[in-house]
Every structure is written in C-alpha cells, then in structure tokens.
Amino acid sequence: MDGAIDDAPHEIPPKETITEVSGLMDPKKKLWVKLEGSIVRWLFMSCALVSILTTVGILIILLYQGYGFFKEINLWEFLTGTRWTPILKPRSYGVLPLVSGTLIVTVIAASVALPVGLMTAIFLSEYAADRVRRVIKPILEILAGIPTVVYGYFALTFVTPLLQNVLDDLLIFNALSAGLVMGIMIIPMVSSLSEDAMISVPRNLREAAYALGATRYEVSLRVVVPAALSGIIASFIIALSRAIGETMLVTIAAGATPKMTLNPLESVQTMTAFIAQTSMGEQAVGSFEYNTIFAVGLLLFCMTLLMNLLGFWIVRRFREAY
Amino acid sequence: MNKDKFITGNINPNRRFRKIIGGCVYILFLLSTCVGIIGLGLLIFDVLKEGIPWINWQFLTDFPSRDPKEAGLLSALFGTIWLMFLTALFTVPIGVGAAIYLEEYAPKNLLTRVIEINVSNLAGVPSIVYGLLGMGIFVYRFGSDEMFLDRVLIAGALTLSLLVLPIVILASRESIRAVPDSYRQGAYAMGADKWQVIKGAVLPSAFSGILTGTILAMSRAIGEAAPVIAITALVYITYIPAHPFERFTVLPIQIFNWVARPQDDFRSLAAAGIIVLLVILLTMNAIAVFLRNKYQTRSEE
C-alpha cells in the first residue's frame, strides 16, 4: 500500500469538494502539509538511527578505553593469565579467574533452568488446560519481572543460610546459591521462548502421532520437542547469555574474590561483579583501573554478543517451516 | 529389520507400561512447573517476613542513616521518580519515532535490515555494559578525565533511556503493526497524506499498545541497578534532588547498599525497601495489564 495510494489522492477529486469535506487539502495548507510530512520523515529516521548510534557508542567506548588497557597489558597475557589482582601488588591481569567465576555460576544456573524451564514449557504447551495456563503464565511473568537486586537479597539471606545447614563448608558468599537463584531467575526466559516454539508446531503432527497410538508423553518428547528444537536451543542460548551478563545478583551473593576454582562452595568474582564492584568506587578517569573495567566489559560484550547472534542464527537457520 | 526399527523406534510395545511411564513423566513436568512458582513463593514470603515490621511512615519519609532505626528511603524514592520521569521523556519520543519509521516509512533495504537486527541485538546486551557506556560518554567527557555531565540524574536517565529503547521500539512496532490496514486506507481515501494518516489514524489506535509497552519498559528500568550504580557510584544522599543536574540514588541501589552491610537490621531494611519496590512494580504491571485488557476487546470489534 506504499507509493501508489500515497500519491494518488492529490489529483482525483476537484479541490472544492475536498476542502468542504475535510479541510485537509486547502491549497494554502498544502505546501505546509508536504513540508511537515518530509520533516517528520527525517525526524523518525533519525530516531531509528539512535539505536545504531548506541551500538556504535558501546563499541567505540569499549574499544577506546580497552585500547588504553591493552597498550600496557598483552592481550594474550590478559586472556590466558590465571591471576587477577588489579589492586593488590604484585599486580596481575589474567582474566581467567573472572571467566571461571562467571562460568561456574552460569553452569549451576543452567543446570537448574534448562531442564526445569524446558519441562515447564512442555507442561504448559502440551499438558496444561487453558485455565491452568492462564494462571501459571502470569506467575512466571512476575518471576521474570522481579529486579535482580531482589534475587541477590534472596540468595544471600535465604538460600545461603538454608544450604549452610546441609553443607558445612559453604561460605557466606558463594557461587552455589548465586547460581541456584540465578537458575530460578532465568526459568521464565527458557520456558516462555520454548513454549512459543512448541505452540507453533502444527496440530496435525501431534494428531498423526496420536493416530499411530502414541501416548501423550511420546508425542511431546518425540514429535513436538524435535520439531521445536531450534527454538528450544535458541531459548537456552539466550537464557545463558542473560546469565553471563547478570550483574547485581552475583555482586551481592557470589562474593568479590577472583579465584581460579571449580568449587561452587567458595566465594568467586564474576566479570560483571568485578565491573560493578570497581565502578562503584570513584576512581580517577584515565587511571589504569578505569581502563581495566572497560577491558573486562569488552570481553563480556563480545561473549554475550556471540551467544545472541548464535541464538538468532539457529532460529533462522534451523527453523522448520510448516 | 532396519525398516521395522525405523517404524517402531525403541518404543516399548507394552502400552500399559508406556502409560505408566507417561504418568510418571507427567508428574515430573508438573513438579518442574512448580519449581518456579515455589521459588517465587519463598522469595516473597522471605521478603515479607523480614520487611513488614520495618515498614512505617518514618521509613518512607526519612533519609538514609547510619542508625537502621532512623533510616528511610525518601531520597531513593524521589530519585527513582525523577529518573523514571526523565527516562520516559527521552525514550518514548525516540522509541515511538523509530517504531513509526520502521513500520510505516522504512524501505526494504540494507539499512532497514541492519537497524532491525541491531535493535534485537541491543536488547541482549548486558545492562552493566550500558552502565559503562553511560560512564564513558555521559558522566565523563569521552576519553578524558574531565567531568561532562558528572554523576547526575540526567546522565543516569540518558543511560537508562538507551537501555530500554529496544523494548519501547519492539513494543511500539507491534502495536503499530496491529492497526488494521483498512484504517490507513480509509484515511488515504479522505485525501490525507502519509504523515496525516499516521497522526490521525495509526497513532490513535496504536496508542494504548504503545502506552502498555512503555509502562512495561519503565518497570524494567525501575528495577535496574547495575547500570545506575556505574553512573552514581555508591553515594550517601540525604536530600531530594531539586533538578536533573544533582546527584541521586535510586531504590535498587539503596537496597543494594543495605544488603551489602553485615548487620541484620540493615538486611531487614533492605527487605522493607524491596517491598516498596515490588509494590511499585506490581502497580505498574497491573496498570499495563488493565490497559491491555481494556483496549484489546475494543479493537477486536
């Protein structure tokens, strides 16, 4: 409907009729109307370009400040070093302890959220009656809307003491409870995206399977899940990238000790927690510390960007079209 | 042989056995669904139990204090209100403008495609990265030690605007797309040009959807602490900001501040702060749901 209709109405009826009917095409106003139209067009386009500028701004600021960092610290040393002591002497800038901290929390979160989220999605899409679904979905939406400081509070003051009853070695700040709570936090992401994928699997595939004598769970696991697999995997990846980028929960509950460890009972520091904890202080700009948080930010940005792109790519590449 | 296997797979031919398995799996799915709900229940129970005794008038009207009994969240509350107002001011016109461009004007070309991919990618960028962006270009002058806007409200609002912009754009696009084409054609038939069609026909009927999306985006912004903390640093504010160029604090940061202290009393204060925050969020969401329900029925006529 672009183009043709757009230009046509100016010529069709005689002028008097139109002014009479709507006043829109008053010849004196006509020029102004045209001008206004093209002004707003450019205005709206520049609004859309703001989003491009945001991305460009993020890239430039991360690369610029990161450059200040990598001028003094070898990139290889940064990526493979196993000691992260940017404040304590002797200073050392190996980022792996932060990466391992991030990974351990993410893995724990994933081991909760992926299975639970997937099964929730199957339940909602294949088993639940409409009435039940209408109750459960808003509850999960609330879960997704709760601010992450609240989850941090919950992990620190509820889950950690609870786990300490069972696990004697558990420190106050630890990767385990941060990871578990983060798992609960990202359940709604996995479940809603996976459910969307499952609901769009056409009905006749299910009915064909039922006609062959399959039970409901066989239909769910052998027909619906495989057919929706690309959407499900994409939901996993997007949820994981969210977990990697999550900040306040781990800043509150996981601690501030950059340590190369795979022990979830210990205190760790994630990349995001390092950025938050360091930027909270008012360090001088241009100081090396200031550049350090941008270097870690750059790494974080690249990791999440790659995962998001992978997620989108999987959805588009492997989408089953029916 | 092979063909047989293809047909039956490894499905056990005993149908009763399969039914039993199916029942067990059903229970498993049901329990999984409960995990999220139970988690939410425990969280709310814990927060209410700790926080309710601390909520009183004095808590809502006092400034933060070293003594937990005299501490309140007035400055954080007003900081949040200020920040939301300014964020909405920046993000709504830009977000809606971008959505109108993408839905009504944009030609199908590479630039449009790039903008679209870019918007969905921006939605996935961790919020702390926006904090770094805001710190690097709004708080400080780019690449130097000089202050640009300083750690003030307006810098925080600009940062949050960029953060929620993708959400506003996506929501607005959806409600603009939902406007029936017949409305547009009707307006064109009256002799309106493109902008008049948008102004007179598209925006009024997309308005409620845009409003709902905006409220939801704002409720996301209210809960964000990570980017704001990079902008404000940890501050101790005992005044209500009078204009956008003053330093500020917001509810999530005040809560974080209290959680981070080892004393139990401050943790309870944090719980009380969380209750206030959650009440605000629930109210906003309820308004959004109300608007959605109210206008959804009407547009289906």
ipTM of the complex: 0.89
Nearest by CB to residue A281, choosing from B11, B124, B233, is B233
Do residue A93 and residue A59 come from a single domain? no
Is A78 among the domain residues? no
Q: Does B263 touch chain A (CB under 8 A)?
A: no
Give me the pLDDT at residue B197, please. 92
Give me the pLDDT at residue B127, please. 94
Given phi > 0 = left and psi -120 to 50 = alpha, else beta, which region is B277?
Answer: alpha
Could you count the other beta carbons within 10 Å of the beta carbon of residue A241?
A: 24
Residues of chain A contacting B165 with CB distance shorter than 8 Å: 50-51, 54
A interface test, pick of B11, B19, B33, B232 with most A CB neighbours within 10 Å: B33
Looking at the complex, report in whole angstroms how far the Cα of residue B224 sits from the nearest Cα belonging to chain A. 7
Residues of chain A contacting B189 with CB distance shorter than 8 Å: 9
Cβ contact A26:B79 at 8 Å: no
Do residue A66 and residue A185 come from a single domain? no
Is A77 among the domain residues? no
Q: Residue B42 and residue B48: Cα distance in Å, rounded?
A: 10
Do residue A129 and residue A50 come from a single domain? no
Residues of chain B contacting A275 with CB distance shorter than 8 Å: 128, 131-132, 230
Q: Name the B residues in 2-61 with CB < 8 Å from any A CB.
A: 9, 11, 15, 18-19, 21-22, 25-26, 28-30, 32-33, 35-37, 39-40, 42-43, 46-47, 50
Do residue A27 and residue A111 come from a single domain? no
Mode of pairing for the β-strands spanning A84-85 and A92-93: antiparallel
Sequence-separated (6 or more) residues with CB below 8 Å from residue A318 = A229, A230, A233
CB burial of B57-93 (b: ≥16 within 10 Å; e: otherwise) equals: eebeebbbeeebeebbbbbbbbbbbbbbebbbebbbe
pLDDT in tens, B97-118: 999 999 999 998 999 999 998 9
- Successive 10-residue mean pLDDT values, chain A, 322 residues: 47 48 58 85 93 94 91 88 81 89 95 96 93 90 91 94 90 93 95 92 92 89 91 92 94 89 89 91 73 93 92 79 63
Q: Residue B16 and residue A57: Cα distance in Å, rounded?
A: 62
Do residue A133 and residue A105 come from a single domain? yes
pLDDT in tens, B191-230: 888 899 999 999 999 998 899 889 989 999 999 999 999 9
For the residues of B199-260, what is the DSSP string, one character each? IIIIHHHHHHHHHHHHHHHHHHHHH--HHHHHHH-S----S---STTS----HHHHHHHHHT
- The residue in chain B having the minimum alpha-carbon distance to the alpha carbon of residue A11 is B191
Is A146 among the domain residues? yes
Give me the pLDDT at residue B296, please. 64
Do residue A249 and residue A130 come from a single domain? yes
Do residue A101 and residue A52 come from a single domain? no
Q: Give A96-99 contacts, CB < 8 A, sequence gap 24+.
A: A96/A260, A97/A258, A97/A259, A97/A260, A97/A268, A97/A269, A98/A258, A98/A269, A98/A270, A98/A271, A98/A274, A98/A296, A99/A271, A99/A299
Give me the pLDDT at residue B72, please. 86
Measure Cα distances from B39 to A28, A158, A187, B46, B295 in Å: 65, 11, 10, 11, 33
pLDDT in tens, B70-97: 888 899 999 999 999 999 999 999 999 9
User: Quick check: B19 and A187 CB within 8 A?
Assistant: no
Q: Residue A120 and residue A184: Cα distance in Å, rounded?
A: 12
Q: What is the DSSP letter of B54?
A: G
Domain-terminating residue out of A21, A48, A70: A70
Do residue A26 and residue A109 come from a single domain? no
Closest CA to B141 of A285, A298, A53: A285
- The residue in chain A having the minimum alpha-carbon distance to the alpha carbon of residue B102 is A48
Give me the pLDDT at residue A306, please. 93
Place of tokens 């859309």: A48
Residues of chain A contacting B76 with CB distance shorter than 8 Å: none
Q: What is the DSSP letter of A92?
A: E
Q: Does B126 touch chain A (CB under 8 A)?
A: yes
Q: Residue A128 and residue B35: Cα distance in Å, rounded?
A: 16
Give me the pLDDT at residue B3, please. 44
Helix (H) or strand (E) holding A275: helix A271-280
Helix (H) or strand (E) holding A149: helix A148-154
- The residue in chain A having the minimum alpha-carbon distance to the alpha carbon of residue B256 is A149
User: Quick check: A123 and B33 CB within 8 A?
Assistant: yes
Domain-terminating residue out of A18, A46, A70: A70
Nearest by CB to residue A241, choosing from B33, B124, B219, is B124
pLDDT in tens, B254-272: 999 999 888 888 999 999 9
Number of domain units in chain A: 2
Give me the pLDDT at residue B167, please. 93
Cβ contact B19:A215 at 8 Å: yes
Give me the pLDDT at residue A208, please. 93
Is A61 among the domain residues? yes
Give me the pLDDT at residue B103, please. 93
Give me the pLDDT at residue B1, please. 41
Sequence-separated (6 or more) residues with CB below 8 Å from residue B175 = B206, B208, B209, B210, B212, B213
Q: What percent of chain B has pLDDT over 70?
A: 94
Q: Three-class SS of residue A84?
A: strand
A interface test, pick of B44, B129, B235 with most A CB neighbours within 10 Å: B129
Reported as a pLDDT band with limits 50, 70 and 90, residue B301 is very low
Tell me which residue range forms the domain holding A21.
4-70
Give me the pLDDT at residue A4, please. 45
Nearest by CB to residue B36, choosing from A41, A188, A300, is A188
User: Between residues B69 and A190, which one has the greater pLDDT?
Assistant: A190
Residues of chain A contacting B137 with CB distance shorter than 8 Å: 57, 61
Q: Residue B51 and residue B73: Cα distance in Å, rounded?
A: 13
Is A293 among the domain residues? yes
Give me the pLDDT at residue B11, please. 66
Q: Residue B166 and residue A238: Cα distance in Å, rounded?
A: 16
Do residue A299 and residue A164 come from a single domain? yes
Is A79 among the domain residues? no
Do residue A167 and residue A262 come from a single domain? yes
Is A145 among the domain residues? yes
User: Quick check: A48 and B132 CB within 8 A?
Assistant: no
User: Between residues B250 and A7, which one has the greater pLDDT?
Assistant: B250
Looking at the complex, report in whole angstroms how far the Cα of residue B92 sits from the nearest Cα belonging to chain A. 10
Give me the pLDDT at residue A248, please. 94
Domain-terminating residue out of A70, A105, A123: A70
Do residue A48 and residue A170 come from a single domain? no
Q: Residue B137 and residue B146: Cα distance in Å, rounded?
A: 11
Tally the C-alpha atoms within 13 A of residue B2's C-alpha that lie toward its C-beta.
Answer: 0
Is A47 among the domain residues? yes
Q: Does B94 touch chain A (CB under 8 A)?
A: yes
Q: Residue B247 and residue B218: Cα distance in Å, rounded?
A: 21
For the purposes of burial, counting CB atoms within 10 Å of the CB of A221, is it exposed (0-12), middle (13-18) or buried (19 or more)?
middle
Assign residue A178 the CATH number of its domain.
1.10.3720.10
Do residue A42 and residue A113 come from a single domain? no
Q: What number is the average pLDDT over the span B129-149?
A: 86
Nearest by CB to residue A127, choosing from B29, B96, B185, is B29
